Structure 1
Amino acid sequence: MPTKSNNTGGRGGARAGAGRKKSAVKEKSENGNPGGRPLEVLDIPEMEGVEMPKPHDFLSAEQRDGSELQAADIYRETWEWLKRIGCSQKVSSQLLERYAMASARWIQCEEMTSKLGFLSKHPTTQKPIPSPFINIGINYMNQAVRLWNEIFQIVKENCNTEYSDEAPQNDVMERLLRARKGN
């Protein structure tokens, strides 16, 4: 019986999102379209006066400690930024909701770490262990970064104007710093 040289069990292949990212259409046109292939521009008509899709209620749900989840605010700020640069119609509201929720949960975990400290007690041995909020927060932060990169890639590929102004991703970091100060 032949054996496989790799130990993947037949599940090989490229990872999703792996490889070189597409260049922005604007960059290609400014550089004289170096590849020579026709530029692929999405033909999505911009609609004037489009209102922001209403964020779902779970993005601002009351939390167990009585506070309100900040995801709806992050959703709103991100959508406003997308609208300002002319890309609000190109990013799905579901992607925005996932990004807003992951960012809000990351902020929540960082607040809990600040409030309770870096150590916890083990439930059975009562010995000190690292706070579980640290790893949970890292997971949410990684998820938020992946989702933000997905949003920004859509902006980069489709935006025909400059998008270097203040990005909402910067505001998420500002929220975190304000939370640590107690503001």
Structure 2
Amino acid sequence: MAKDGTNRGGARIGAGAKKKPLADKIAEGNPGKRPITVISFNDDAGKLEGQEMPKPSEMLSAIQKDGKPLQAAEIFEKTWEWLHEMGCSSLVSPQLLERYAMSAARWIQCEEMVTEYGFLAKHPTTGNAQRSPYVAMAQDYMSQTNRLWMEVFLIVKENCASEYAGESPQDDLMEKLLMARKGRMG
């Protein structure tokens, strides 16, 4: 509680000792002696049996004002499939995946608007040129998307015994963004 009597402050998000990656725990011999879940990236990772993909929320494929469906459901499915191949699908909450997919889809949508309308817009009262609001929104969504992706990837990193060096859904997202810039969707 603060001096003025308001209940604010407290522990900050991300404060405190950082969780060690699994590879470091194994290298040090598991000093805490707690059981460790080990997921290794090998050729058999895609053959593991696990849970079925949770059904994405209807909101992720809603029809937008321009008549196009939102791409968030597709991003959700590709990301979940990647996590399933890595053996981490049960460790990441579907709500986190939905937030990531929605943010990534909105980022792509804003970038499409910047491509269509340009970087400048007309000020509503003065008529002078100003920065397009889509530019700021795209930057905000890009930042949010990257933060959410790092949350997802941190779960994978903290629960694997070896370094992952393959492709990720984030790579596919960049390809989708570049294709949208060229006017192609797919």
TM-score by length of 1: 0.84
Counterpart of 1:70 in structure 2 is: 71
For 1:115 and 1:175, the matched residues in 2 are separated by: 16
State the AA in 1 paired with 2:19: K
Distance 1:40 1:144, change over 3 A: farther
* 1:28 maps onto 2:25 in alignment: yes
Q: Which amino acid aligns with 2:36?
A: V
Q: Identify the residue that residue 36 of structure 2 maps to in structure 1.
A: 41
User: Partner residue of 1:128?
Assistant: 129
- Residues 160, 108 of structure 1: alpha-carbon distance in 2 compared, 3 angstrom cutoff: same
Secondary structure of residue in 1 paired with 2:130? strand
Spell out, residue by residue over 1:83-132, the C-alpha distance to the aligned partner (whole angstroms, 9 max, x if none).
Answer: 01100000000000000000110111111011100000011111111000
1:155 corresponds to: 156
5+ residue gaps, structure 2: 39-47
Q: Percent identity?
A: 57
Alignment partner of 1:120: what SS? strand
Offset of 1:15 from its aligned partner? 2.7
Aligned match of 1:166:
167
Aligned residue pairs total 173
Backbone CA RMSD of aligned residues: 2.4
Deviation at 1:32, TM superposition (A): 3.7
Flag the 1:105–1:20 CA change in 2: closer, same or farther, 3 A.
Answer: farther
5+ long unaligned stretches in structure 1: none
- In 1, Cα distance between equivalents of 2:51 and 2:85: 12
The match for 2:44 is none
